[in-house]
Amino acid sequence: MKFERFIAQRFLQKGKSNFSQPLIKIAIVSIALGVLVMILAVSILRGFQKEITQKVVGFGSHIVVSYFDGENDYEQIPIETTRTIVDDITKTKGVKNVQYFANKAGMIKTDEQIHGVVLKGVSSNFDSSFFKENILEGRLFALNDTLASNEIIISKTLADKLKFGLGDKVRTYFWQDNNYRARAFTIVGVYSTDLTEFDEVFMIGDIRTVQKLNNWTPEQVGGYEILVDDFDNLPFYAMTIYEMLDYDLTLTTVKEENPALFSWLDLLNTNIILILTVMAVVCMVAIISALLIMIFEKTSMIGLLKTLGATNKTIRKIFIYKSVSIIGKGLLIGNAVALLLAVLQSKYKIISLDSESYSMSSVPVDMSVWIFVFVSVGTMIACLLALLIPTAFITKVRPAKTIRVE
């Protein structure tokens, strides 16, 4: 065992110092609380960003290709599924799925009220995993190979507002060619995503219904929705696909379609940085205070070691070894408690939220191992750098003066 490590383990053992031990315990608790707060704050904020992003993408896709001169999202100019561009996009590395869709704005009329809606028609290649996870009652609509289905799913928000239930007929009116066309749909499923701006508007059904309402051929759709493997590389995928498009097509990403929402989510990163900075300072102050007290308390020992030939560098190592032990205990406790709380919240949803305000019913937690590693390593580095301040006092200790006083 090294000399410095041996001295560090021996001279501050429990019971050997009456004054510094309580401060060491306070430092360990402070570091543990700082690490706990940092891990939970980053996990919750990252979980919130991830949850909202998944819900918005689940309603559509990462990238939408549509006709360049389309006036709006609900009255679309059709494009053909037979274009060779579809095969090129499908073969692009990183593209998970290409699905067809068409939107049609309409109006639901009941005995008590009228409500504007959008029928989103999807095809058989639609990735329905998002809606399967969020179905509260019933099932998804069936898409057969021959006839257009009149089955739809609607949100719980819409069902409660218009007093609909499973099996009810929904009479919807669509404007087409200076006239309206009525369609009766059957509700087979009720979903909830807690995204009010989407839940209040969309009902999901068969794309062939929209094609018939618009007098389109079976090869004409409102656009292509593209899902990719990595959301973080969305700009790269968008640029790659954009270079493949014909002159009359355009491309929009989910961020461009929802700029306000994603700007708000990006703003949360500022809160993460602020929390990490404040908690890191708390940990640094805690370890600096504990180390200063240890140095002042052991001034006579420092003088004795210098008299016996120990250099300032050697004595610094003694205190750094002890400080690393304090920091390590704080990190271990903080990580353990943070992991326990994260697992409990993720499994049992202990802390609930108002879904209308937060777009989710419980506090989300992103239990990424990299969050624990990043916070732990960052805290250790910050605390070790902070040790340069108190260890500077070691050079000011004069052996002759400390021994004479003793």
% of the chain at pLDDT higher than 90: 60
Q: Are 387 and 287 in contact (CB under 8 A)?
A: yes
Q: Are 157 and 192 in contact (CB under 8 A)?
A: yes
Q: Is the pLDDT of residue 72 over 90?
A: no
d(CA 393, CA 287): 15
d(CA 384, CA 343): 30
Distance spanning both ends of the chain, measured CA to CA: 30
Which position has the higher pLDDT, 404 or 201? 201
In the predicted model, what is the mean pLDDT of the chain? 88
Mean pLDDT, residues 222-248: 94
Which position has the higher pLDDT, 404 or 374? 374
pLDDT band at 252 (very low <50, low <70, confident <90, very high): very high
- What pLDDT score was predicted for residue 395? 64
* Secondary structure element (H or E) that encloses residue 106, with its range: strand 95-109
Q: Is the pLDDT of residue 105 over 60?
A: yes
| Token pair listed for 358 | 């937060």
Nearest Cα residue to 255 out of 32, 60, 31:
60
Phi and psi dihedrals of 372, rounded to 5?
Answer: -65, -45
pLDDT, tens only, 344-386: 999 999 999 988 788 888 999 998 999 999 999 999 999 989 8
Q: Is the pLDDT of residue 19 over 70?
A: no
Q: Is the pLDDT of residue 122 over 50?
A: yes
The structure's pTM equals: 0.84
pLDDT, tens only, 40-70: 999 999 999 999 999 999 988 999 999 887 5
Alpha helices of 200-311 — where are they, by DSSP H?
A: 207-213, 234-242, 254-257, 259-297, 299-307
Beta bridge partners of 109: 114
Phi and psi dihedrals of 249, rounded to 5?
Answer: -115, 155
| Token pair listed for 196 | 């009010």
d(CA 230, CA 10): 52
Mean pLDDT, residues 321-349: 93
Nearest Cα residue to 324 out of 374, 381, 378:
381
d(CA 127, CA 96): 10
134-154 burial by CB neighbour count: b if 16+ within 10 A, else e?
bbeebebbebeeeebbbbbbb
Q: Which one-letter DSSP state was computed for residue 393? A: G
Which of 118-122, 139-143, 174-178, 385-389 tops mean pLDDT?
Answer: 118-122
Q: Is the pLDDT of residue 399 over 70?
A: no
CB-side exposure of 250: number of CA atoms within 13 Å? 12
What one-character-per-residue DSSP string does 16-82 give?
Answer: T-TTHHHHHHHHHHHHHHHHHHHHHHHHHHHHHHHHHHHHHHHHS-SEEEEETT---SSSPPPEETT
- What pLDDT score was predicted for residue 406? 45
| Token pair listed for 374 | 């990043």
Q: Is the pLDDT of residue 397 over 80?
A: no
pLDDT band at 144 (very low <50, low <70, confident <90, very high): confident
